[in-house]
A and B are shown apart, each in its own frame.
Chain A
Amino acid sequence: MFDTLTSRFETVFSRLRGRGRLSAEDVDAALREIRVALLEADVNLDVVTGLTERIRQRAVGEELSGALNPAQQVVKIVLSELTASLGGERLTVTYASKPPTVVLLAGLQGSGKTTNAAKLAQWFLRQGRSPLLVGADLQRPAAVEQLRTLGERAGVPVFSHRRGPVKAASASLAEATRTGRDVVIVDTAGRLAIDAEMMDQVRRISKAVRPHYTFLVVDATVGQDAVNSARTFHDTLALDGVILTKLDGDARGGAALSVKEVVGRPIAFASVGEKLEDFEPFHPDRLASRILGMGDVETLIDKAESAFEAEQATETASRLLEGTFTFDDFLTTMQQVLGMGNLRSLLGMMPGVPRELRGAEIDEGRIGRITGMIHSMTPQERAEPDIIDASRRQRIAAGSGCRPSDVKALVDQFKQMRSAMKGLGGLGGKRMAASKARSSQQAGRPGGKPSASKRRGSGGRTTPKGPVPVSKTPLTLPGLEKGEWPGLN
C-alpha cells in the first residue's frame, strides 16, 4: 500500500549523501513526499500547508549528523514536529472546589460519545472519584438505554429526564449533590455542525450546566471535513480538549492533527478498543508515527502484551534462539499472534516490513491447515521434526486432510527457519539471557540509575559492577533489522 516515508526519502536524497547541511532544495524535494504522506493520512489540506512550512524552517540548514543519513534526519525532524504539534500542552484534570466537576461531551453522530462517556466515567472511578452519567441524548432512539447498560457495566449510576435534554442536564447537578457524586459526565446527542438548531440546543445545555471541561469526541477515521466541524463546535462551546476514538482500526488518524491545529486544545484521551478499559491518556508520539505510516510499534507491543504471557513468550523466544523450538511452541505462538488480529494488519504495524511482504496476500485459511497438520503429529514428532520420514508424512497428511507434499513443505520450512534462528542465537541468545538477568537485577534495585549509552548490535554483558548499559534500540535483534527474514527468501 504505502511505503515508509524513509524509503521514499532515500530515493529523493540518494544524490546528496555526504554533504554538510540540508539545503533549501533538498528539503523541498522531501516536502513533497511529506505532503503526500500527510494527505493520505487525512490531515486537512490547509493544516498540511502550515505543517510543512514549519518543517521546512526546521530542516533547512540543519547540519547533517554522522549517525543518520539525510533521509533519516528529515524523518526525525518530521516526527518530532508532528509529535510536538499533537502534544504540547497536556490536559490535567483538576476538580472543582465545590463539587460536582462537570464534563460535557459533544460531537458528530456516530463518533462514540455514549461509549466514551462510560469509558470516561470508569476512568474517573479509577482516579478515586464517584461519577454520575447523564443521558442528555433524547434524539437517537434508545441512547439513554445504551448509557444505562454501559453505566451498569462500569458501576456508575445514570441519570436522565424525559422532559428534554436541557432539563435533564440541569436537573443532574442537583441529583449529583443529593447523591454525593463529585463528577458529572453529560452525554449529548450527535449533531452536525451545520445544524443551527441542534448547535443552539447544545449551547443551552452548556449554559445550564456550566461545564468545567467540554470535550469534543472525534473519530479517527474522519477525513478532510474534521476541521469544519471542530471549528464550529469550538466556536459554540469553547472546547477544553478532544477525545480521539476508534484508534482500534487501521485509520491513520490524521484528523487528530487537523482538529488539534484548529482548536488549539490538547487531545486528552484516546479510545483504543471496544472494552470499557480500552481508554487511556493520549500518546502524541504513537499517533505521529502512525500518521506517517511508519508502523505503530507501541500499539503492536500493547496488543502483544495482552495476547502473550510475557514470561512464556520470553521462554519461547529463547528456545527459538537456542534451536530447541518445537512445533508445540510454534502452535502456541501462532495462536497468540492470531489473537492479536489478522496477520495483514499486524504486518502493517511492524516497521520496516519489506514492501513485497506488506502487500502480500495472506490466505488465512492456510493457518487452519497448518494447525491441522501439527495436531496430527505425535508429541515426539513435534519435538523432533527430524524423525518425520515418508511414512510419518503419509500418516500426518491423512490425519489432517492434506497432501504429503504440504506436510513436507511445512516441516522443511520449520527446520530451515529453526536453523536460521539458531544461527542468530549466538548473539541473540546471550542477549536475551542478559536482558532477563538485567531485569531481575534491576527489579531488586529500584533506585538503580539506568545509563543510556547507544550501544549497537552486540548484546550487553553483566559485570560485577552492576547493570550494564541498556541499548536504546530494543528491536535490533541481529540480522532481523537488515531485512533478512529467516525463511522468507
Chain B
Amino acid sequence: MTLEIIVGLVVLAAVVLAAAIAVRRRRRLQAVGAREEATAVDEVADRVVGRLADRAAGSTERSTVSLRDRLSKARTALTGSLGSALERASTSTEAWTEVTEALIRADVGLGASSEIVDAARSRIEAAGHEPSAAKAALQTELRERLEGYDRSLARRSDGGGPSVWLFVGVNGTGKTTTIGKLAKREADAGSGVVLAAGDTFRAAAADQLAMWAERSSVHIVRGSAGADPASVVYDAVESAAARGADLVLADTAGRFHTEHNLMAELQKVRRVADKGSGVVTETLLVLDATTGQNGLAQARQFTDAVDVTGVVLTKLDGSAKGGIVVAVQAELGVPVKLVGVGEGIADLVPFDTLDFVEALFA
C-alpha cells in the first residue's frame, strides 16, 4: 500500500503542480488592472467549488458529535457564568449543552468534550441524580480520566552518567524559558545541572539560555549559530559526564511538526543524546495553554518522531485554559508533568489534576 501511495502521489504531484504553476503564471500575466473585490471573492468560491464538483462523496461515516442546535443561542457571558447557568437550566439537555460549551471554550475540543459529557451524563442518569449535578459529575469524570499517570520526571537509576531531558515543541511555546526555570529548581534540589543550548537556529536563543544559566549558576554548553544541534547536545552530555553532573537539560529549536526535515533532525538529536555517556530519560513536549485543536496534531507528530514522555503546559497563568491536554492525554497517553504559570524563575509547578479541572470551569 505504501509503495503505491508514494509512487502515485509523486506522479500526481508532478502533473498537478506543473499544471497549477503554469496556470498561475498565465494568470499573473493576465492580471492587468485590479479586479473588483466582490467578484474576486465570488470567483474564489467558484473556483474551489468547481474543483470539488462531481467528486464522489466517498464516505458517509461521521463523527459522533452530540452538539445541540442550541449552540446557536446567543451567548455573551464567559465561562464564569457556567455555575449559575447550570442551576437555572431547567431541562437536562440544556444543562448538558452548557457544560459541553464550557469544555469547548476551554479548548478541550469538540470530540473529546462530547465524549466526556456523554460519559458523565450516563453516569449521573444511571444514579438518578438531577441535571443540576451536571458540573460535579463532569468534574469527577474529568478527574478520573486524568488521574492514574506517573507524573514524576525520570532519572536513570543505574548510577551511570547523566540523565538527559530533551525539550521539544513548535515555535514560541516556551521551551527555553521552561528549561531556565527547571535548571534553578533542579540545581536547588542538589542536582548537578548542565544546559545544552541546542537551539542553534533562532537568533540569540543561546544567549537567552545563557542568561538563565547565570541566574541559577549552572553550566551551559553552546555551539556557534547554525551548528549541528545534535553535536551541541552530545558535547553537553560529555561535559556533564566529565564534571560529574547528573542532569542535562537540552533545548531544541522550535519546529513545526509538519516539517519533515526538521523532524528528522530532531530524531537525530534524540539518537545522539543517547549515544555517549548519557541516557535520555525524558522527552518533554512543551505546549502553550493558548493552543487550540492543533495541539493534538503537534502531540501526535512529536510523539511519533521522538517518543514524547510528558507534556509541559506553559502560560497557564493567562485566561487560556489549556484544555487540549485532556485530548492529548486521552489519545496518546502522554501526561502533563509540569505547568508554567509565570515568567519568574520559580513559576514552574507540578501538574495537579484537581486544580486543573477546577480551573477549566473557572
Residues of A within 8 A of B (CB): 3-4, 6-8, 10-11, 28, 31-32, 35-36, 39-42, 45-46, 48-49, 52-53, 68, 72-73, 75-77, 79-80, 83-84, 87, 108-112, 139-143, 145-150, 153, 192-194, 219, 221-226, 228-229, 246, 248-252, 254-255, 274, 285, 288-289, 294, 297, 300-301, 304-305, 308, 310, 313-314, 316-317, 320-321, 325, 329-330, 333-334, 337-338, 341-343, 345-347, 350-352, 354-357, 360-364, 366-367, 370, 409-410, 413-414, 417, 421, 428, 432, 435-436, 438-439, 442-443, 446-448, 450, 470, 472-477, 480-483, 485-488
Contacts and interface: CB of A to CB of B under 8 A. Distances in A.
A252 B105 CA distance: 17
Interface residues of B, number: 112
7 contacts: A73-B49, A79-B45, A229-B318, A308-B21, A314-B18, A343-B9, A486-B11
Nearest to B102: A45
A458 to B, nearest CB: 15
A372 B311 CA distance: 38
Contacts of B154: none
A53 to B, nearest CB: 7
Among B104, B258, B290, B321, which residue has the most Cβ atoms of chain A within 10 A?
B290
A438 B107 CA distance: 50
Given A301-B20, A343-B6, A355 B42 contact: no
Interface in B106-136: 106-107, 109-110
Contacts of A80: 41-42, 44-45
A412 to B, nearest CB: 10
B37 A87 contact: yes
B110 A40 contact: yes
Contact of B32 (A221, A316, A446): A446
A142 B204 contact: yes
Interface in B235-269: 256-260, 263
Interface string B307-332: 00000000101111101100000000
A193 B318 contact: yes
A76 B45 contact: yes
B101 interface: yes
B319 A68 contact: no
A192 B20 contact: no
A34 B26 CA distance: 34
A149 B200 CA distance: 13
Contact of B172 (A72, A112, A477): A112
Contacts of B12: 480, 485-486
A334 B51 CA distance: 25
If over half of A's interface residues share one DSSP class (helix, strand or loop), that class is named, otherwise mixed; here it is helix
A351 B16 CA distance: 11
Nearest to B26: A439
A110 B6 contact: no
A249 B65 contact: no
A193 B47 CA distance: 40
Contact of A145 (B5, B76, B204, B318): B204
A483 B204 contact: no
Contacts of A297: 20, 48, 51
A204 B12 CA distance: 56
A83 B321 CA distance: 29
B157 interface: no
Contact of B207 (A141, A249, A317, A475): A141
